[in-house]
Amino acid sequence: MRHPASEPTPGSSGYDAELRRHNPVLHRACGVQLHEHVLDIGCGRGQTTRQAARTARAGSALGVDISAPAIERAREHARAEGLDNVTFERANAQSHDFPPGCFDLAMSRFGTMFFDDPVAAFANIGRALRPTGRLVMMVWQPAERNEWDVAIQQALAGPDGQVAAAPAGPDPFSLGDPRTVTQILGVAGFADIAFTDVDEPVYYGPDVAAALDWVGGFTSTSNVLKRLDPAAASRAVGRLRETLAAHASDDGVWFDSRAWLVTARRP
């Protein structure tokens, strides 16, 4: 759905910038302690992993992601910050051979929605946790509750409501239904599963041009535009630009979003 994560600077676009309002919510919920060992799933370029490592100064943090370029950038940032208790590995958390019972906390900021087999993935993550170890993850609520997705899809579809068919791919809203997630985590061996509503906006950039560049890089957006003829694609981009302009303010382009903060523990 998105580009790999990028480091935010004032007024910048990028994945970490986009989720700037979600990050402190996740950090508070994780409650990382001084001596804890943390696993960050789908870590991207490692912002959340490094944040955990700075808190767990006498512990450690491991970030995993399937993107090799993102992992390399994460390592570069960690070296630049002089963090010696954080490591990054290119790995699929669904099948990676984590050391059993090693971690106190498994965390994720929108990095768990794309597993081919979510039960197997969460069971694998659970085995990496020590008994009573915590799972804290943020996932999107259903698409219709996320203004950013509704607005983008409407802009791409245009006045006739028809949008070019895109191939089936990863679904960012696959964990949006609490009943489904409760069943998945329960079968995977987790207990005390709870959901907290997170009502925070997403940030797409300091101005419409930056926001259009960012949103145009979403897999869902680019797949649709590629399937339109040039004239139709141009009209769709124009509608998307108008939609972004309608959400622009003095402090950038923002859209409402809704997420779940999901918590659970290994018995």
Domains of the chain (ranges, CATH numbers)? 15-143+171-204+254-265 (3.40.50.150)
- Can you tell me the mean pLDDT for 194-221? 96
pLDDT digits (tens, 9 = 90+) for 85-95: 999 999 999 99
Closest CA to 259 of 205, 188, 202: 202
115: exposed, middle or buried (Cβ count in 10 Å: 0-12, 13-18, 19+):
buried
The model's pLDDT over 137-190, given as tens digits with 9 standing for 90+, comes to 999 999 999 999 999 999 999 777 665 555 556 799 999 999 999 999 999 999
Which of 105, 151, 132 shows the shortest CA–CA distance to 191?
132
Which pTM was predicted?
0.91
Q: What is the pLDDT of residue 164?
A: 52
